Structures are given as structure tokens and as C-alpha cells.
Copies of this chain bind each other. A is one copy, B any other.
Amino acid sequence: MTSMARAERHSNPAAIDLSPSVAARHACRAGTASSTAGVAPGYVQGNLAILPEKLAASFHRFCQLNPKPCPVIGMSDVGDPRIPSLGIDLDIRTDLPRYRVWRDGEVVEEPTDIMAHWRNDLVAFVLGCSFSFEEALMADDLPIRHIERNVRVPMYRTNIACADSGPFAGPMVVSMRPFKPADAIRAVQITSRFPSVHGAPIHLGHPHSIGIADIAKPDYGDPVPVEADEIPVFWACGVTPQAVIAAAKLPFAITHAPSLMLVTDLKNKQLAVL
């Protein structure tokens, strides 16, 4: 240990020995966190959906029926803000940078914690997100266009209907990453190993076949070019459950705010099934 490192340990003993994921959640609690993109590399980040108990069962079934857009990686007990499987000290009310509170299908507030909104009938769902498989793609030296260009991934509503459950219904939303063909094949192989973070692509090559009229005009995120020698590759996207929750015009729901995710103690590599 260098003398400087030793000095830091003495000056800030509480910060020592925190894993990057715990440190990220503590920053949320302290109100100092912003976008979680690039935070705690190697750790799984998740989308959040919080629903009253009487809707939670239908939503859980919706996820079970549509595992590619809605892979559940953790959930709370009714009224319990903890999800120990994702982090021993995790408190879902405080540990994201920012939340969205929905009433009747509209965002009514974007608070940095939801202590004032928590109720003993709420159930929290954490869903896997594409950050995990993007890390695996980059570890294999595959170029990811929107990351190279520092923009949001382009996302599109498709004509693929999710299986519905109670009030939850709607089209699958997909994210798109362009690749040269050999890289597209490799991307299928790599993401197939990660079914709990959207898994293998659901489509490639023919945007029109899945109801995308203009690849240059995403419904969410930012457009990126697809070069003549590339093919667009489409993955089921975690915006699907958000869009479905909005469309259901539920009396009450809470989600994360876009790009402001839950950082968990799971490692991305732990999610690989082989």
C-alpha cells in the first residue's frame, strides 16, 4: 500500500472495502448520483417496476410470458423494500438515482427517493438490462455503434405483440445495434449465453418484417447509421415493460427514470448460463 493510499484509508475509513456496486447505491442514498451508465463496471444493473400487490401478480405473469423483454432478476416481498438476492443492504426506496411516479398512465413526479410513496402493499421487480450483454459484446471486441458515438441506443416499437396478462399488453420494444455479418453471428453466440438480460436477438436484417418503417427514426433513443455492409440486429428491450405499464394507465406505479438504474451486487459474468 502506498503512503497516499494509506492516508486515504485513514482519512475516509468508511469508504474503504465498499464494492463499486455498494458505493454506487450509497451515492444514490446521498443524492450525489447521476446516470448509472458506466458506473460499477462488471456489475449487473436493472430496470425497476414497482406495483401494488393486486397488479403485481398479473405483471409477474406478464414477465413470465414475455421473458425476452421482461427478464426478472429479482423481486421484493410484498411491502418489503429489501431485495437481498441483489444486495444485502439494498433498499429499493433509496438506492436508485431517480424514480418516476406514475398515476393513471402519466408521470406525476421524478423524485430521487420514494420514501414518501412507499406502501406496505407494493412489490418491486428488477428486470435485466442490455448493459450486461453490451459489456460481454465489448469484452469480445465487438464495436457498439451508439456507445462509440456516445448516444442512446435506438429503440423501436415492433408489430410483435407481447402475450398479455391482465391489464398488461402491448407491442415488444426492441433495441438495435448494427454489425458486420460475421460480428452479428458472434453477437448471437455471445448474447445467447445471457438469457436473463434479454438473451439472443429476436430479429436481424429485415426491419420491415417486425413493423419498423424507418430504421433512421427510432421511437425511443437516438438514431445511428447502419452501413451498407452491415445488418441491423434487434434485441428485446427493457423499455417494453415501461411502455406496457404506461399504456395500462394504472392508478399507481413507480419505475426508474431512463438511464438511472439500480446497480446490483451481481456480476454480469455470473449471468452467463455457459
Contacts and interface: CB of A to CB of B under 8 A. Distances in A.
Interface of A: 180-182, 184-185, 188-189, 192, 200-206, 209, 229, 231, 274
B189 A203 contact: no
Nearest to A184: B204
Contact of A205 (B202, B231, B274): B231
Contacts of A209: 180-181, 229
Contacts of A185: 188, 200-204
**Number of chain copies forming the complex:** 2
Given A209-B229, A229-B209, A274-B274, A204 B192 contact: no
Taking chain A's interface residues, is the majority helix, strand, or loop, or is none over half, making it mixed?
Answer: mixed
B205 A181 contact: yes
A231 B202 contact: no
B202 A229 contact: no
Q: Which 10 A-B pairs have the closest CB atoms?
A: A188-B188, A205-B231, A181-B203, A181-B204, A205-B205, A181-B205, A209-B229, A189-B192, A185-B188, A185-B201
Nearest to A200: B185
